Structure 1
Amino acid sequence: MTTMDYATQISQLIQDQQGAIAAEWLGQLEALLVRSSPGAREQLRSHTQQFLSALAAATRGGELDNIDHRSWDEVRDLLADISSSRAKAGSTPSETATFIFSLKQALFGRLRQGFEGDAEAIAAASWTISTLLDKLGLYTIEVFQKTKDQIIVRQQQELLELSTPVVKLWNGILALPLIGTLDSARTQVVMENILQKIVDTGASIAIIDITGVPTVDTLVAQHLMKTIAAARLMGADCIISGIRPQIAQTIVHLGVNLEDVTTKATLADAFVVALERTGTSVISKA
């Protein structure tokens, strides 16, 4: 019996026994279902029915060894949607892969009935289906992981944007409080945010507060200088505040040249200097 003959028989068997296979498969999945709710069960039932229909159509094409063939497009698209939705819902990779792997038991039982009396055909068909489902299971894990990676990258980007707020303190004065480690990726976000805010507000002074930066090394100092240089090109001068004694010693030890940059120990001191430069004075009432 050729591969095409096996494929035709397997496809016909899945189509004829779809209801029984789906019921047995669904029963196994529901027993493993952690998030038990009417909505989750209904969605699972819909996924099993859609997958079996797509599987029957795909196997009919005879390409049982190559799930990248165009005859498997519908199956791959369906599995991609299922894997992506599960990744976004907080499922684990094993829970997602189990959706495919748990189908083996239901299918093997039907294969024994369909090829009854032909031990060689049963063995060959079972091995073919097992290998096929393994490939599809691995495909679901790949899509699941890609979706997770995309979610993580998006969340990191959102956190970067949230952790680098540019605040307008006064007319013409901006403040950028930095908290945490300053790396290349974050420096790019900082630079984009402060430059955009300078354009939006027409500010002439930007205070970069590093009180929340735990350590300052050569790399962090370089990032700060790049940000200051970019702001100056936009017509805004920068003041660095939050220079603690330990950081001052580190900067001197590293030989970082901050001679042309105004530095202050606190944000309040930097704000006073910024007010003076903009021709504004603060008078306290008696």
Structure 2
Amino acid sequence: MATDSKAQLLVEALTTHRDEFLAQWSRTIGDALQGRLSAAEMRRELTELYEAILGALSRGGLESRGDHFAETRSLLIELSRNRARQGFSPTETAMSVLALKEVLEPRLTGDPEGARVYLQFARILDDLSLLTTEAYVRTREEIISSQAEQLLELSTPVVKLWDGIVGVPLVGTLDSARTQVVMEKLLQTLVDSDSTHAIIDITGVPTVDTQVAQHLLKTVVAARMMGAQCTVSGIRPQIAQTIVALGIEFGDIPTNASLSDALRQAVKEVAQDAEDDVRGLL
């Protein structure tokens, strides 16, 4: 039997038993998903996918690499992305395709020719299920990356402490990526609030090593380039001992034991700056 006649045999089976196959396919997937997806939504997705597969087989036969399966692949990518966002597992997502093999097997394997058609079509479904897994993984990576960025934003707040004074309370480890976020948010806040003083509080930073110190210095230098005076607060006794032991030099950067001490000093400097400006106008 020629390849196109094999495809025709499959097309006829899919067309003749369309409603039966769709109903059984929906039941199989519905049991696997345990009601976590509405029956109407699942039926709509599977119907679109079924029609796309049937159309691809009618146009291009059992050659899975052709453009005639483009619509099918597009629908599966979208389905996989939705499943990833909805919290389904990769296996549950792939089952949306693989379950069709279970539906078709009893109808197509009753004779040798039908069995050969089934095996050839099963390979196509295997390829399509791999596509769903790839799309699912890419989407999950995008979600995780987006969530990591959001957490990074939330973990590096820049707050206005006083007129002309902003604070950056750091909690946790300070690495290169986080330093970049701190720099960007601090510089933007300095511009938006027209502040002249910045306090970087490291009370919540568990340890300070050479790398962390370098990140702090970069942030201070960036703020100073914007014309802001910077103070590092939260220098606890153990942190101070570590800094001395490592030979870390903060140079002329003011440091304080607590945020309140740093704020008190910054308020005095802001008041003095305001007084000097008034004198300059007289």
TM-score by length of 1: 0.90
Secondary structure of the 1:277 match is helix
Contact 1:7 1:61 in 2 (8 A): no
Q: Which moved more, 1:7-16 or 1:256-265?
A: 7-16
Q: Which moved more, 1:176-185 or 1:17-26?
A: 17-26
Q: Deviations over 1:23-66 (max 9, x none)?
A: 12122222223235xx6111111112111100011122336343
Task: Give the match for residue 200 of structure 1.
Answer: 192
Corresponding letter in the other structure for 1:29: I
Corresponding letter in the other structure for 2:73: R
Report the CA distance shift for 1:50/1:168 in structure 2 as closer, same or farther (over 3 A): same
Deviation at 1:4, TM superposition (A): 3.0
Deviation at 1:213, TM superposition (A): 0.7
Task: Give the match for residue 54 of structure 2.
Answer: 56
Task: Give the match for residue 166 of structure 1.
Answer: 158
Task: Give the match for residue 284 of structure 1.
Answer: none
| Residue 276 (structure 2) pairs with residue 276 (structure 1) | no
Contact 2:108 2:115 in 1 (8 A): no
Task: Give the match for residue 78 of structure 2.
Answer: 81
Q: Deviations over 1:183-227 (max 9, x none)?
A: 111111111100000110111110000100111111111111111
Partner Cα separation in structure 2 for residue 133 and residue 266 of structure 1: 64
Task: Give the match for residue 228 of structure 2.
Answer: 236
Report the CA distance shift for 1:79/1:266 in structure 2 as closer, same or farther (over 3 A): same
Q: Deviations over 1:58-90 (max 9, x none)?
A: 1223363434x3211211111112111111111
| Residue 15 (structure 2) pairs with residue 15 (structure 1) | yes
Task: Give the match for residue 118 of structure 2.
Answer: 126
Where in structure 2 are the equivalents of 1:80-119 lying within 5 Å? 80-112=77-109, 117=111, 119=112
Partner Cα separation in structure 1 for residue 155 and residue 72 of structure 2: 42
Identity %: 44
Partner Cα separation in structure 1 for residue 30 and residue 160 of structure 2: 55
Report the CA distance shift for 1:14/1:258 in structure 2 as closer, same or farther (over 3 A): same
Partner Cα separation in structure 1 for residue 204 and residue 139 of structure 2: 33
Report the CA distance shift for 1:63/1:271 in structure 2 as closer, same or farther (over 3 A): farther
Corresponding letter in the other structure for 1:34: Q
Q: Which moved more, 1:197-206 or 1:56-65?
A: 56-65
Deviation at 1:161, TM superposition (A): 0.8
Q: Deviations over 1:237-278 (max 9, x none)?
A: 110000111111211222221021111110001001111211
Contact 1:243 1:266 in 2 (8 A): yes
Where in structure 2 are the equivalents of 1:245-256 lying within 5 Å? 245-256=237-248
Corresponding letter in the other structure for 1:162: L
| Residue 211 (structure 2) pairs with residue 214 (structure 1) | no
Secondary structure of the 1:210 match is strand
| Residue 182 (structure 2) pairs with residue 184 (structure 1) | no
Partner Cα separation in structure 2 for residue 11 and residue 249 of structure 1: 78
Deviation at 1:13, TM superposition (A): 2.4
Deviation at 1:162, TM superposition (A): 1.0
Partner Cα separation in structure 1 for residue 61 and residue 248 of structure 2: 65
Secondary structure of the 2:156 match is coil
Task: Give the match for residue 2 of structure 1.
Answer: 2
Corresponding letter in the other structure for 1:107: L
Contact 1:96 1:141 in 2 (8 A): yes
Where in structure 2 are there 5+ consecutive unaligned residues? Answer: 274-282
Contact 1:8 1:62 in 2 (8 A): no
Deviation at 1:12, TM superposition (A): 3.2
Detail structure 1 runs of 4+ shifted over 6 Å in the superposition. Answer: none
Q: Deviations over 1:111-144 (max 9, x none)?
A: 23xxx55x1x223212112111111111111111
Corresponding letter in the other structure for 1:215: T
Partner Cα separation in structure 2 for residue 23 and residue 87 of structure 1: 24
Partner Cα separation in structure 2 for residue 35 and residue 270 of structure 1: 57
Partner Cα separation in structure 2 for residue 166 and residue 18 of structure 1: 60
